[in-house]
Structure 1
Amino acid sequence: MPSTTVNTQKVLGIMAKPDADLEDMLFLFCPETETARASGREHFDHVSTRLSAGGPAVSEVAAQGVLTAAAKLLAAPFDAVRAELEAIEHPVLYANGLEDVMIPAHNSYVAVQHLSDATLVLYAGAGHAFLFQYAKAFTRQVADFLAA
């Protein structure tokens, strides 16, 4: 398994690419299993169809903003983030794929340890695109959380 540093460099490199291809996007969002990749291809086909039909696109400014924020977050020492987490007093639903290369599941586990009222949901066999891979289960989880 590649080190977190190698993955972080690869993630940021892909995010900075103006011409990221499907394989790049699959690396960012889906684990390297055929089931996850098939789900990812289906999702990206759907998005591509919507974009070609005039759906909203992400501007270069917005994409650079996300990249800047991600790089800043990845570079921040946890102690800087801890105080912000501990200041949150309302309930938080924290969800993640177990095989997320952008936000490792371990980071989510550590984060919820510093929230006073948190629910952590981890999806096996999923990466950053867990919400597409497990759309129905995640929708139910969100609805239940909001109803509570």
Structure 2
Amino acid sequence: MSYYDISPDGMKIMMDMEKYTKKSSINRAVRELIKIRVSQINGCAYCIDMHTSDARKLGETEQRIYCLNAWDDCDFYTPEEKVALELSEHITLIPTKRVPENLYNRVREHFDEKQYVDLVLIINQINSWNRISIAMGNTP
């Protein structure tokens, strides 16, 4: 199904958000790690394939890509990456009604207010892409 042709206005909104998140001050490597991890959680093979390829082009190592599903047990992710991944998992899995204060405070140790908002938008954007790709039957 060519959903870009069927709903160009809806897909334009998605692409406009994508353009915004690409311009954020969040490091591109961090953005790709978030996209891979969220796509792993959601089981979106299409997005996992796309974003692991993008991460490799940025110089990401195989070890860091392969270990993303166990990032919290690895010492080769930076504190900034770890807190971004923790926030990504929290928002994707929605275990509580809000981000816990201690997580928010740890995120703010590495990211300013604007970056926090941008992180939330990046996380929500990849969740939306995952759901679109899965619903439309996209495969790598």
TM-score by length of 1: 0.27
Greater share of residues in strand:
1
Greater share of residues in helix:
2
| Structure number, greater radius of gyration | 1
Bigger RCO (CA 8 Å, 6+ sep)? 2
